[in-house]
């Protein structure tokens, strides 16, 4: 596609429920990142995928968070047993291999998650 | 680890006035530096970046930023702002020495341009 697509754009869920957030990167972009943006704060790195390499999960805040990516395509971020503190905008970004710093990452518009 | 500090959470300014958005960073290794902009209801877009070479970098819409290594700063400036510049601006860094290139962001500065 022309850009990074994220769905849903908004998600309201009850505390304790599981949610899945989806990211479709730009075709050919092997690098994919998930970030979290809490209200009034900067973006926090969550997880990084690069091609078929093992993902860098060092930013995941707890074991309730997990992410998968099929090859170099769609990625899903799953949050289990959601808590109110998980409320945030979840952003996905992709870039060509090894070129994010040159061309910049392309961000999606994000999924706004509200846990009630 | 790296950290980025944007001291001003909000900057109100009148149209056609100059503006400076401050960014300071901390890192034990060399970094690349970026400014991203987020317009209302849109995703983040790369505004400009410093990779190497000239310490003054410019964007196509009149913004510029200067890398100051001694002060570990990368302040963003524009000599005359427009209403359309109203947005949130994020400063970010990434390490030069790893392949991951994950960005570390500041908390953002909301630029509010008033007529």
A50 touches chain B (CB under 8 A): yes
Cα separations in angstroms, B60 against A27, B48, B85, B108: 26, 9, 13, 21
Q: What is the pLDDT of residue A21?
A: 98
CB contact under 8 A, B101 and A100: yes
What's the average model confidence in pLDDT over B86-113? 88
Q: To the nearest whole percent, how much of chain A has pLDDT over 70?
A: 94
- For A9-30, what is each residue's pLDDT tens digit? 999 999 999 999 999 999 988 8
Q: What is the pLDDT of residue A72?
A: 80
Q: What is the pLDDT of residue A39?
A: 84
**pLDDT-derived band at A83, boundaries 50, 70, 90:** very high
Of A89, A61, A76, A39, residue with least CA distance to B44: A89
Question: How many Cβ atoms are within 10 Å of A10's Cβ, its own excluded?
Answer: 11
CB contact under 8 A, A42 and B43: no
Of A4, A98, A107, Cβ closest to residue B99: A98
CB contact under 8 A, A107 and B45: yes
A105 touches chain B (CB under 8 A): yes
With residues binned 3-state (H G I as helix, E B as strand, rest as coil), the percentages for chain A, rounded to 5, are 5, 45, 45
Q: Which residues of B touch A (CB under 8 A)?
A: 4, 6, 9, 32, 34, 36, 41-46, 49, 51, 90, 92, 94, 99-108
Residue labelled with tokens 């060092």 = A58
Q: Is the pLDDT of residue A104 over 80?
A: no
Q: Helix, strand or coil for residue B115?
A: coil
Pairing of strands B104-105, B3-5: unpaired
Distance of alpha carbon B35 from alpha carbon B12, whole angstroms = 19
Question: How many Cβ atoms are within 10 Å of B2's Cβ, its own excluded?
Answer: 16
Q: Which of A99-103, B15-19, B20-24, B110-114 has the lowest mean pLDDT?
A: A99-103
| C-beta separation of A77 from A67 below 8 A | yes
> Which 8-state DSSP code applies to residue A109?
-
Better-scored residue on pLDDT, B84 or B101: B84
Half-sphere exposure of B23 (CA within 13 A, CB side): 30
- For A26-62, what is each residue's pLDDT tens digit? 998 888 999 999 987 888 999 999 888 889 999 999 9
Total count of residues recorded for chain A: 116
CA atoms B33, B38, B42, B47: torsion sign:
negative
What's the average model confidence in pLDDT over A81-101? 88
Q: Is the pLDDT of residue A2 over 70?
A: yes
Better-scored residue on pLDDT, A51 or A76: A76
Smallest CA–CA distance, residue A116 to chain B, in Å, is 22
Distance of alpha carbon B57 from alpha carbon B103, whole angstroms = 19
Q: What is the pLDDT of residue B24?
A: 97
Cα separations in angstroms, A28 against A31, A42, A74, A97: 9, 28, 12, 9
Distance of alpha carbon A84 from alpha carbon A115, whole angstroms = 5
């Amino acid at each position: 596609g022309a850009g990074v697509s994220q769905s849903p754009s908004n998600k309201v869920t009850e505390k304790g429920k599981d949610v899945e957030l989806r990211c479709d990167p730009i075709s050919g972009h092997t690098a994919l990142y998930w970030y979290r943006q809490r209200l009034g704060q900067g973006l926090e790195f969550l997880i990084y995928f690069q091609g078929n390499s093992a993902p860098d999960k060092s930013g995941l805040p707890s074991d309730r968070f997990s992410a998968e990516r099929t090859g170099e395509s769609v990625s899903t971020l799953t949050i289990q047993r959601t808590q109110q503190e998980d409320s945030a905008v979840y952003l996905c970004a992709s870039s060509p291999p090894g070129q994010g710093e040159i061309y910049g990452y392309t961000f999606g518009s994000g999924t706004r998650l509200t846990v009630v | 680890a790296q950290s980025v500090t944007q001291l001003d959470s909000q900057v109100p300014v009148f149209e056609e006035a100059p503006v400076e958005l401050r960014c300071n960073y901390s890192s034990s290794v060399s970094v690349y530096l970026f400014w991203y902009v987020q317009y209302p209801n849109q995703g983040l877009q790369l505004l400009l970046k410093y990779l190497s070479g000239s310490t003054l970098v410019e964007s196509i819409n009149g913004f510029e930023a200067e890398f100051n290594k001694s002060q570990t700063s990368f302040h963003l400036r524009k000599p005359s702002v427009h209403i359309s510049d109203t947005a949130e601006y994020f400063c970010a860094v990434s390490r030069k020495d790893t392949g991951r290139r994950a960005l570390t962001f500041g908390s953002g500065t909301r630029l509010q341009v008033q007529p």
